[in-house]
Amino acid sequence: MQKNDSQLPLIGGIAAAIGAGLCCVGPFLLLTLGISGAWIGNLTLLEPYRPLFIAAVLALFGWAGWKVYRPVEACEPGTACAIPQVRKRRQVIFWITAIVALVLVTSTYWIPLIA
């Protein structure tokens, strides 16, 4: 185990969630900023890749959850995962980013209700 645990699972999960929600969040963001036009409806270039992005979100957040909630006994003494304050902070960050990812991934279903 390395002393500096990687933040790759959380960062990758958020990046994949952004990719999964980009087909809907992108046009919604443009409309919110006052940019409009008929061409906005054609911003669905990434739609075929949506299931792959969602699979990446689930895999990366599963990996992050395993790293955050693994038993303390699996951590080497003196590493970040063995310190209770660090573990608690990482768990809070994990759930905040998981909620953000959930909002982005499900944006296809709730954005049409507001727009």
Q: Tell me the C-alpha distance between 38 and 77, whole Å.
A: 59
| Euclidean distance between CA atoms 49 and 47, whole angstroms | 5
In this predicted structure, what is the pLDDT of residue 25? 67
Residue 15 has pLDDT above 70, yes or no: yes
Q: What is the mean pLDDT of residues 8-31?
A: 72
**Is residue 90 in a domain?**
yes
Indicate whether 1 pLDDT > 60: no
Check residue 92 and give its pLDDT: 92
Residue bearing the bigger pLDDT, 71 or 10: 71
| Single-letter residue type at 56 | A
Q: Quick check: is 3 in a domain?
A: no
Round the average pLDDT of the chain to a whole number and report it: 78
**Domain annotation covers residue 1:** no
Q: Which pair of structure tokens corresponds to residue 20?
A: 């999964």
Residue numbers of the domain that contains 16: 9-114
In the predicted model, is pLDDT for residue 2 greater than 60? no
Whether 76 is in a domain gets the answer yes
Domain count, the chain: 1
pTM of the model: 0.65
